[in-house]
Amino acid sequence: MSELQGKTALVTGGTSGIGRGAAIALANIGARVVISGRDEVRGTQVVQEIRSAGGQADFLASDLRDEASARSLAGRARELVGHVDVLVNNAGIYPFGPTEKTSEQEFDAVVALNVKAPYFLVAELAPDMAKHGHGAVINVTTMAAEFGASGMGLYGASKAALALLTKSWAAEFGPYGVRVNAVSPGPIRTDGTAGMGDDLDQLAAAAPAGRPGSVEEVAEAIVFLATDRASFVHGAILPVDGGRIAV
Ligand code: NAP
C-alpha cells in the first residue's frame, strides 16, 4: 500500500513509543518521514529500521521547549523534505504526582512540550499546508484530558489544552484543506510507561477492553487520520483507549 507516496510527515517524539510506531506505520504506506527527538542514538535506530524495510526516513535532533525550538525544527524539516504534508504532534511528557509536590519548573516543562511546542509547530507549518490546499495535523492527547484523575491534573490539563486547540485549528485551517484531528490514547505500553509496571494494567482494567493498548493500535488511528480515508474528518478527538472514556 502506498497511500502516502510522495507525501512527507514530521513526527515529533519519533524516537520512542507511539511516535516511533506512527513513523513506521506512515513510512509503511509510502510517506517520507522525519522523526524528531533529543536522543540521536534512538533516532538513528528508528531511521535505520524504516530504511531497511524500504522506507524513507530522517532524524532531526530537537529539544522542544519553546517557540524558537519548534519553529527551528519545522524549518529544518522543510529544508530537508521541501514541504511537510503531515504533522504528528506526539512528543510529550507525563509526570504524575500530587499537586503540592509539583515544582514550577516541572509545570513549565509539561506545558512547554505538551502545549507550546505543538502550538508553534502548527503556527509554522499549517499556513504552508493551507497554501498548498491540503495537509493533516494529528495531535496526540490522552484519555486523562477527559476526566479528573488524582495526580494527573497537570498532564491532563496540558492535553485538554491540546484537545481544544485541535478543534480551534480545525476551524482555522480546515477551510483551506488542512484537516486537524487528535488521537486520545488510553494506557499504552511504551518506553515512557515502562516504569509504571502493574499500575498500567490497573489503569487499563477500568475500560471495556480491560488491557493496555499497543503502540501499533494507536499508530493505526494516526494513519487513518493522516490519510484520505479520513477525508471528511475534521476537529475530531478519536479515543483509542479500550473504551475507557465511554463508560
Ligand atoms: P515515550 O515512549 O516516553 O516517548 C516520548 C517521546 O517524546 C520520545 O520520542 C522523546 O524523545 C520525546 N520527547 C520527550 N521530551 C522531549 C523534548 N523535550 N523535546 C523533544 N522530544 C521530546 O512516550 P509515549 O508513551 O510513546 O507517549 C507519546 C505521546 O503519547 C505523549 O504525548 C503522551 O502524552 C501520549 N500518550 C501516551 C500514553 C501511554 O500510555 N503511553 C497514553 C496517552 C497519551 P527523546 O527522548 O529522543 O527526546
Tell which phi-psi region holds residue 5, choosing left (phi > 0), alpha (psi between -120 and 50) or beta.
Answer: beta
Q: Is the pLDDT of residue 1 over 80?
A: no
Tell me which of 20, 63, 76, 90 to substitute to probe ligand 1's pocket, judged by most ligand atoms within 8 Å of the beta carbon.
90
Residue 207: DSSP 8-state? S
- Domains in the chain with CATH codes: 8-240 (3.40.50.720)
Q: What is the pLDDT of residues 2-27, one digit of tens each?
A: 999 999 999 999 999 999 999 999 99
Task: Judge whether 75 and 36 are in contact, CB under 8 Å.
Answer: no
Residues recognised as catalytic = 155
DSSP characters over 97-116: --GGG--HHHHHHHHIIIII
Say how many Å lie between the CA of residue 231 and the centre of ligand 1.
27
Residue 12: DSSP 8-state? E
Q: Which of 126, 119, 139 is nearest to 22 (CA)?
A: 139
Say how many Å lie between the CA of residue 46 and the centre of ligand 1.
15
Q: Quick one: pLDDT band at residue 75, thresholds 50, 70, 90?
A: very high
Q: What is the pLDDT of residues 77-100, one digit of tens each?
A: 999 999 999 999 999 999 999 999
Amino acid 108: pLDDT: 98
Q: Quick one: pLDDT band at residue 49, thresholds 50, 70, 90?
A: very high
Grid coordinates standing for 30?
509510502
d(CA 191, CA 236): 27
> Is the C-alpha dihedral spanning 198, 200, 206, 209 positive or negative?
negative
Q: What is the pLDDT of residues 161-182, one digit of tens each?
A: 999 999 999 999 999 999 999 9
Please, which residues have CB within 8 angstroms of residue 235's CB and are 6 or more apart in sequence? 166, 167, 169, 170, 171, 174, 180, 181
| Average pLDDT, integer, range 30-57 | 98
| Average pLDDT, integer, range 64-76 | 98
Grid coordinates standing for 103?
515544582
Cβ < 6 A, ligand 1 pocket: 13, 15-19, 37-39, 42, 62-65, 90-94, 113, 140, 142, 185, 187-188, 190-193
To 5 degrees, how large is the angle CA 13–CA 167–CA 23? 25
Q: What is the pLDDT of residues 94-134, one digit of tens each?
A: 999 999 999 999 999 999 999 999 999 999 999 999 999 99
How many angstroms separate the most distant Cα atoms in the chain?
A: 50
- What mean pLDDT, rounded, does the chain reach? 97
Q: Of all protein residues, whose CA lies closest to atom 33 belonging to ligand 1?
A: 92
Q: Of all protein residues, whose CA lies closest to atom 9 belonging to ligand 1?
A: 13
Q: What is the pLDDT of residues 201-238, one digit of tens each?
A: 999 999 999 999 999 999 999 999 999 999 999 999 99
